[in-house]
Chains A and B, each alone.
Chain A
Amino acid sequence: MALLARGELRSILQTEMPNALDTRWDTQATDQPEAHGEGQTILLDFDAVVKAEALVEVAHFIRDKFGYTLLSNITAVDYLKQGLIEVVYQFYNAAEGGPDLRVRVRIGRSPEECIVPSLTPTWPGADLQEREAYDMYGVVFPGHPNLARIYMWDEFKGFPMRKDFPKTGDKYTHVTGE
């Protein structure tokens, strides 16, 4: 049970669970995030980026080995230019306090790729947050007991927080925006 510094998990995973890391981001790992200039989307590669199928395994690994028991926050971010959706999981060590440990999963934006296994069976607190990520970004969580829309009504089509969702107009009432 110990606190991990930022970026430390990455090197630990490299030795302990080499198959879990998403190798696409190995070469771009840096200590300092690079600013890509104005208007550019950014992808930080500082934390451990794991493969979607290894997420549950990694989450259990950091919980059992390092005591990160509190899954506090699940955020989906849409990187339209890179064609990626990133899901960020933030874990806290409830016994030791300290800053969070971030585990990232990067998946494609198409419905076939936008799938991450659910953490709800182990962390029931992830239930509503995963539903929110599904509702707003269309990330599908297999293993979730009740993956339904949470904020939008059930008949709603599309995922309103995605960057390519039209910001004006309403396709239901056929009122077009500017």
Chain B
Amino acid sequence: MTLSHLATEDVFVVERNDADFRAGQGMTKGLGIVFRKFRKALFGKPNSDRADTEGQFNVQYPEERLVLPEAYRNMPILLYDDATGHELCTSCFQCERICPPQVIHITQAKDPATGKPVPAAANFVLEYDTCMSCGYCAEVCPFDAIKMDHDFELSTGNHPELDVNYDRLLRPISYYEAIAPTMWSDVKEQAMKKLQNNIKRRPGAIGRDHGQKVKGGAAVAVAATPVAGAAPAAAAKPRGPVAAIGKNMPEEKVAKLISIRAANAAKRGGGDAGAAPVAEAAPIVETVVDTPAASAAPSGPVAAIGQNMSEDKRAKLEAIRAAKRAQRGE
């Protein structure tokens, strides 16, 4: 066949070595390579560089973690200001419109006195089970209110829990700043400026009473989670290995896990920012712990404490948190 669109030197025929005499040399050569690699994998150093082709390549997942890039996107979260507690979302419906699988459902807040719409969301429901993590919502948001989270350990046995409500979507800005510092510093100025403008138009507690509007009987039918206690726990789930300890694990298993982690942390010299110290790991079993970032904001952790908690539990949590703050020297 003439190949006029291709110059002859642009085509080459792959070599088949059909005529070679064979008595197992190919196999021997291949096994030699395998053996070399095997030796390197056993006694070699772990890979530190992308140019490495030999040696240990594995990462022992729950204990060791790869550093996620800033741009990493898993599920959308909403931000609120640490200092004032004001949410950045103004319910402009841009994300709801662009969302390809249509999983974002926003209700706009209304001024209770005049009935006029206020630039804040009364409720915000996101179906995590159907979300395809495309990141369009974060891309189009003009107020930088919706961002993509890095937490990927979301598996649950409770399917309705994946219809995530406003109170469980909210994270303080400091949390986002911790996971994506440069991406936040790029937009910080304009986002805060826009927020200041919006705060002026928000009467009363609208815009900073996150999580309580739902209970306060706003005119929203919410796909609420049936297990009320579990919801805030998920919202305040700390990042890092600690999250892997299940609520329903037997006591001795939890203890064992904690001791393993303590040993690992000691080995690493405790330098892992993602992993919570062992002393803090124990209360996880009690369902709720705030994120390291959230503890900086007074309004943050309080919001995460569920509404339906018993009084003694709440007191206990508060005590734990106070202890932790003291520990950090605040």
Contact = CB atoms under 8 A, between A and B. Distances in A.
Contacts of A96: 4-5
Contacts of A94: 1
Contacts of B6: 97
B156 interface: no
B11 to A, nearest CB: 12
A22 B1 CA distance: 34
A97 B4 CA distance: 8
Interface in B1-51: 1-6
A152 interface: no
Interface residues of A, number: 6
B8 to A, nearest CB: 14
Contacts of B1: 94-95
A98 interface: yes
A95 B3 CA distance: 5
Interface in A88-115: 94-98
Contacts of B3: 95
User: Secondary structure at chain B's binding surface: helix, strand, loop or mixed?
Assistant: loop
Interface residues of B, number: 6
Nearest to B5: A97
Interface string A118-156: 000000000000000000000000000000000000000
Contacts of B2: 1, 95
A47 to B, nearest CB: 22
A98 B5 CA distance: 8
A96 B6 CA distance: 8
A98 B1 CA distance: 16
Nearest to B3: A95
Contacts of A1: 2
Contacts of A97: 4-6
Interface string A11-24: 00000000000000
A110 to B, nearest CB: 35
A98 B2 CA distance: 15
A96 B3 CA distance: 6
B246 to A, nearest CB: 37
Contacts of A95: 1-5
A159 B317 CA distance: 60
A97 B5 CA distance: 6
A94 B2 CA distance: 10
Interface string B191-221: 0000000000000000000000000000000
A94 B4 CA distance: 10
Nearest to A98: B5
A1 B3 CA distance: 11
A145 B4 CA distance: 35
A44 B303 CA distance: 60
A107 to B, nearest CB: 34
A96 B2 CA distance: 8
A69 to B, nearest CB: 9
Interface of B: 1-6
**Which 8 A-B residue pairings sit nearest by Cβ, starting from the closest?**
A97-B5, A96-B5, A96-B4, A95-B2, A95-B1, A95-B3, A95-B4, A98-B5
7 contacts: A94-B1, A95-B1, A95-B3, A96-B4, A96-B5, A97-B4, A97-B5
Given A96-B5, A97-B4, 11 more contacts: A1-B2, A94-B1, A95-B1, A95-B2, A95-B3, A95-B4, A95-B5, A96-B4, A97-B5, A97-B6, A98-B5
